[in-house]
């Protein structure tokens, strides 16, 4: 009979494409893992992995088996989580993914209150790009994630908790005086700096300005909002920053100015995403309530 341990070993080999590294991931010896995989292939009557001293390849039959193995593992994990439903809210371990253009600005605003209200919550946080988080939530490697919408979730559930607009950020010496609003038509696009391709924040900023793409004239590119803002402070151009990041990136500097982008909004929406069969949806809904409250307090503190 095929065991869950064998399935986990096979999935580890698929992930690492290396038997020794897969064994280390599973905290077993390489011989133990190899024997278990060989026995699994014998029971199935097919070869999952082609291996030699240099690399591991997955056979066509192996791909089909591993796809089904992932679904089985996910269902078993959900069964184990059923026992958590009877416990008090937000007391069981929760793994949360978050994208880099949200994490540094959201977490300081919400985590202190969450820790105070739920001190026994074992929370694991992973920061990665949106497509990586979507894949990990779908595969069960993460319970949930926080993304900026719109984004193609391909069947995952979304629990929206925040909406915000972008602000045009420039050096004060280069900002027209008395300006309180600016439209995309008024932006100097040849001076507008955005994140590198692959960041959903860039896509949302372009969508807010009704632009499909722009050719950046600057010699610099950035992978973080913090770097972009430092470039603006150096008078290399201007950029667009979400409301949530204003206190950390803009208002702490005497050199920068932030003007609301006067285009139909909201320009981006923040949401928890999770699997349709995730059994702890109530925990996510509770987190949404707390996040809404703390972010509303933040907005009031800015007098926006």
Summarised one tens digit per residue, pLDDT across range 95-126 is 999 999 999 999 999 999 999 999 989 999 99
Mean residue pLDDT of the chain comes to: 88
How far is residue 148 from each of residues 28, 124, 277, measured CA to CA in Å? Answer: 39, 20, 22
**Closest C-alpha to 164, from 214, 106, 232, 111:** 106
From 49-63, 131-145, 162-176, 285-299, the region with the lowest mean pLDDT: 49-63
From 8-12, 37-41, 167-171, 187-191, the region with the lowest mean pLDDT: 187-191
**Residue 213 clears pLDDT 90, i.e. is over it:** no
What is the predicted pLDDT for the residue at 55? 82
Q: Residue 263 — very low, low, confident or very high, per pLDDT cuts 50/70/90? A: very high
**Domains in the chain, please, with CATH?**
4-82 (1.10.10.10), 87-163+268-302 (3.40.190.10), 166-261 (3.40.190.10)
Q: Residue 85 — very low, low, confident or very high, per pLDDT cuts 50/70/90? A: low
């Amino acid at each position: 009979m095929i065991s869950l341990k064998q399935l986990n070993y096979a999935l580890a080999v698929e992930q690492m494409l290396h038997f020794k590294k897969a064994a280390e991931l599973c905290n077993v010896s390489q011989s133990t893992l190899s024997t278990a995989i060989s026995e699994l292939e014998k029971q199935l009557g097919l070869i999952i992995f082609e291996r030699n001293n240099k690399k591991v390849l997955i056979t066509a039959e192996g791909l089909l088996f591993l796809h089904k193995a992932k679904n089985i593992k996910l269902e078993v994990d959900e069964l184990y989580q059923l026992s958590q439903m009877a416990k008090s809210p937000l007391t069981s371990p929760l793994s949360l993914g978050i994208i880099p253009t949200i994490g540094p600005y959201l977490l300081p605003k919400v985590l202190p209150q969450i820790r105070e209200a739920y001190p026994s919550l074992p929370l694991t946080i992973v920061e990665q790009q949106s497509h990586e988080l979507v894949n990990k939530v779908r595969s069960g490697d993460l319970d949930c994630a926080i993304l900026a919408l719109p984004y193609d979730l391909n069947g995952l559930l979304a629990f929206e908790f925040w909406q915000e607009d972008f602000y045009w950020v420039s050096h004060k010496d280069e900002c027209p005086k008395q300006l309180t609003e600016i439209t995309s038509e008024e932006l100097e696009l040849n001076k507008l700096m955005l994140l590198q391709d692959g960041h959903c924040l860039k896509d949302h900023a372009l969508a807010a300005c009704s632009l499909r793409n722009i050719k950046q004239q600057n010699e610099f590119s950035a992978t973080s909002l913090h770097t972009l803002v430092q470039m603006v402070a150096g008078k290399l151009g201007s950029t667009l920053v979400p409301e949530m990041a204003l206190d950390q990136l803009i208002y702490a500097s005497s050199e920068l100015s932030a003007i609301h982008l006067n285009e139909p909004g909201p320009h981006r929406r923040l949401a928890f995403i999770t699997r349709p069969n995730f059994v702890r949806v109530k925990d996510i809904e509770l987190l949404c309530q707390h996040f809404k409250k703390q972010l509303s307090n933040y907005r009031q503190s800015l007098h926006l």
